[in-house]
Amino acid sequence: MPVTKPKKRYAFVDVQNTASTTRKLLGFLIDWHKLYSYLTDKWKCEKVFYYSGIDEGDDETANEFESLRKAGCIVKTRTVFSYKKTDKTISIKCVACGKENAEVVDMGYNRKSNCDVDLTVDAMEEAGPDKEFLIFTGDGDFDYLVDRIVGKGTKVYIVSSNTGIKKPGLNTKRLSTRLKDIIKKHKQGTVDLINIDSWKMKIRKEV
């Protein structure tokens, strides 16, 4: 009887998305060194990729990821840049005179460090029937990537959280509907969700 070789397991971590998920929805910060150790020791990942933006002049974060690189993690970073959101003009009616007045609302800035292309290219190059991937993101933009690498015979775990915030004026979940649809589309055992909530005690940062 032929011996089945164990599949190689790789992890691809969208750092900003994952950090936002645990901080805003689950109430804890990730210790990136603990996560790397958990993935290599517990999950036996042969390669762990971190994709992160770093603010210019943020030496603390730059040094942290450099130490992860030295520990064996594959770290890919980009400089964070800011861009202005389009301001909105709203009409306000004066209660006293009934006159309409236009007021411009400053919508502020968005901060972006797009590492999505790096993650996508790396995952596509590494995909194959002898692989299992852990992809850390709740971003629906990766639904096509997941579909393609499954088509190459790769088993995928999406690591995120299905927890949401529901209160007046705000109803949101980190795991996008598009990723939920991908999980439903493929049979169980091909694409599965790992709730990162369950890893809290293993990977949280002590503060």
Give per-residue pLDDT as tens, 182-197. 999 998 789 999 999 9
Give per-residue pLDDT as tens, 127-182. 999 999 999 999 999 999 999 999 999 999 999 998 765 554 444 566 888 999 99
- pTM of whole model > 0.85? no
Give the domain 8-82+112-203 fold: Rossmann fold (3.40.50)
Contacts of 120 (CB under 8 A, 6+ apart): 142, 145
The phi and psi torsions of 121 (rounded to 5 degrees) equal -65, -45
How many angstroms separate the CA atoms of 121 and 111, rounded? 23
Strand partners, 196: none
